[in-house]
Amino acid sequence: MKNLLSIQNLTTGYRLKKGETRLLHQNLSATLSEGEFVAVLGPNGAGKSTLLKTVLGFIPALKGEISYGEKKLQDISIKELATKVSVVLTDKIEDTYVTVEEVLLTARYPYLSFAGDYKEKDRAVVDQAVSLTGIDALLMRKLHTLSDGEKQRVMIARALAQDTPLIFLDEPTAFIDSPGRVELMHLLKAIPSEGKSILMTIHDVELALHFADTLWLLGKDGSFEKGNPRELINKGSINKLFDRGKVKFDKVTRRFV
């Protein structure tokens, strides 16, 4: 299978004052292939979002290489990257006049000409994203009147309408109740897997184990492990990462007890 994203010997972290750095992870290598659903798991503060932002080029990588297909990240313009990756972020949209429809239409900006006219193809892609996420009834609503779950569906529809081979999501289940989370995961799982891959940070371990094809485990100590859920559970990696005090991960029921 084709690699859509490959990360080689990546070091993530932040540059502080002159010369000083705060390292999060070193020598991290991983790939994301066509149709793969990857969940990035780790305790709070392990650097999940930092990894995501580094891969997107929002934060500079301290070392190592990130490539999309054959092309290195530093050789890809911001405009070109917009046709390769779409995102669902935790950022709040505050403008009270923005409608769901207007949010969806921004997804086509990477493809529009200077005049900004929507073509037949743009309409078709947006309409398809709307029906896949089931947000038909919300189109004319103002975004700020929606519930958190509805908002997240809209942002996923927006990412789909951007029609990119990769979709990155940062904590998509935050602020959503339990049934809503499961519903959202089913929606993500149903995204046509032909050519589309998903990379998602999440702190809900049980959900990630159930839905993801591959897990990337980030430890607070800078450790990194990857593999399919069953493998990692049997190896005791989940226990190593999350067990604390009396709370332990049970390998059989796949729950914390």
Partner 1 sequence: MTSAFTKKPFVMPLLLLVITMLLLVMVNLWLGSVTISWGDVLSTIFSSPTSSQANIIIWDYRMPQVFTAVAVGMGLSVAGLLLQTVFRNPLAGPSVLGISSGASLGVALVVLTGSAFGMDVLQSNMMLNDMAVVIAAFAGALAVMAIILYVSGRIGNVVTVLIIGIMLGYAVSAIVGVLQFFSGAQELHAYVLWGLGSFAKNSLIRSEIILLATAVLVVSSYFFALPLNAMLLGENYARSLGFNLKKYHTLLFLLAGLLIALGTAFTGPIAFIGLAVPHIARAWFNTSNHKQLIPATLLLGANLTLLCNLIARLPGLDTSLPINAVTSMIGAPVVIWVIVKRSKMKVT
**Near partner 1 in 46-105, by CB under 8 A:** 56, 58, 78-83, 85-87, 89, 91-99, 101-105
Q: Between 74 and 106, whose beta carbon lies closer to partner 1?
A: 106
Contact at 8 Å (CB) between 21 and 83?
no
Single out the residue of 188, 235, 192 nearest to residue 38, CA to CA: 188
Q: Are 4 and 167 in contact (CB under 8 A)?
A: no
Minimum gap (Å) between residue 196 Cβ and partner 1: 16
Q: How far is the CB of 242 from partner 1 (least distance, A)?
A: 28
In the complex with partner 1, which residue's Cβ is closer, 162 or 214?
A: 162
Interface with partner 1 includes 23 (CB under 8 A)? no
In whole angstroms, what is the distance from residue 178 CA to residue 223 CA? Answer: 29
In angstroms, how far is CA 16 from the centroid of its own chain?
26
Closest approach, Cβ 142 to partner 1, in A, equals 8
| Contact criterion met (CB below 8 Å) for 224 and 48 | no
Q: How far is the CB of 186 from partner 1 (least distance, A)?
A: 21
What is the H or E stretch that residue 174 is in?
Answer: none
The answer to whether the beta carbons of residues 26 and 11 sit under 8 Å apart is: yes
Interacting residue ranges for partner 1, rule: CB under 8 A: 56, 58, 78-83, 85-87, 89, 91-99, 101-107, 109-110, 112, 114, 116, 118, 123, 126-127, 130-131, 136-137, 139-140, 144, 162
